[in-house]
Structure 1
């Protein structure tokens, strides 16, 4: 399992002025499967402007560029896919809008929700939060057993999310998470995003 676990990077809640430089530095520091742009409550024109700035940085490095919440804007702006929560666009509708693009779905701590998402066409499901997180208030905490059973019994890949860092990620890797979604572990690292990336990759390799 360990060898297959990859990083899924999510943008910080507030993008700093030099974020393009920080993003390039982080992505150049090691293997990243995907970058999710999460801009809550931003107007469409602002979201599209940010996509135009960041998408090429990811795609030029073979990193999938995923837009949070908005499958319609993902298609319009050349993203590689979209991620929806349980209160966003319905999964079947999102699947129809995205066509062949990647669709990810938040499933909290519920294998039932994850099965429904998989049946509706999700390409991956996300379980979490596994640890306390400052990024967003989770409706519930997820159990490692949920991840473990899913990884053992289902083919649709799973992402672990929520408060994950280099110090606490090992049990999630060992449980079979195909991807670890991280925010603060990279962007808030005391030595910068590239150091945060290297610390995460080292922890995954050693798990």
Structure 2
């Protein structure tokens, strides 16, 4: 993996060696991201996954459908999450999050400003921002009012095309300097998750590792790591 491409410069490797996860932070939690196809039996799969172990949040991520279609697909999934007290986060679209009354919205760098999202969605909605491998972008997001920042992709992934590959030390730096939660994303499996948890991730965002097979077994496997 390449070094972090950041206006602040690369992080000192010795920092990672000296870092110990702050045990005063809440334990790392699981954050599920939907596959692009959430039709058919997917609502049943989501219920099965959420019933298999603690999940903090579910991100609704669909592409190339209009907002009316997206809302129709989202509504049963939102009910499943609400029944289990799992936060329902909409990917990319502030307007869809507003329409659904979602618990939050996750914004890429091209999807709008957290300030705009806050003005539209109100003070209680959770706002997350993709920050790739950039400490600078993460600090900007925090200053703009984001509730969490997401770094990645930490590992190779087939879920989306990625150009940014941070080292786990960025999680260490962030969680040492800031209280704002950080999310690790990108190719995370139960086998490769431990270094990210140890580095300081507050959440593991996962998709294919859960939906690519037996979702309940995958959630249970992640819970073993998170314990």
- Scaled to the shorter chain, the TM-score interval is over 0.9
1:138: which partner in 2? Answer: 162
What is the number of equivalent residue pairs in this alignment?
203
Q: Which residue pairs with 1:18 in the alignment?
A: 41
SS at match of 2:97: helix
The TM-score, its normalising length taken from structure 2, stands at 0.86
1:140 shift after superposition = 1.1
Which residue in 1 is equivalent to 2:202? 178
- Secondary structure of the residue that 1:140 maps to in structure 2? coil
Match of 1:7 in 2: 30
Tell me how far 1:16 sits from its aligned partner: 4.9
Equivalent positions of 1:1-207 (< 5 A) are: 1=21, 4-100=27-123, 101-189=125-213, 192-205=214-227
CA distance in 2, matches of 1:204, 1:176: 12
Partner of 2:8: none
Q: Secondary structure at the match of 1:66?
A: strand
Render the CA deviation track for 1:123-167: whole Å, top value 9, x for unaligned.
Answer: 000000000000001121111111110011101100000000000
Residues 89-137 of structure 1 deviation map (CA, whole Å, 9 limit, x = unaligned): 1222122112121100000001110000000000000000000000001
Unaligned runs of 5+ in 1: none
Q: CA contact under 8 A between 2:113 and 2:144: conserved in structure 1?
A: no
TM-score in terms of structure 1 length = 0.95
| Unpaired stretches in structure 2, ≥5 consecutive residues | 1-20
8 Å contact kept, 1:185–1:200 = no
Give the whole-Å Cα distance in 1 for the aligned partners of 2:146 and 2:100: 20
SS at match of 2:56: strand
Q: List per-residue Cα deviations over 1:37-56 (Å, max 9, x = no partner).
A: 00122210011101211100
Quick one: distance in 1 between partners of 2:163 and 2:88? Answer: 26
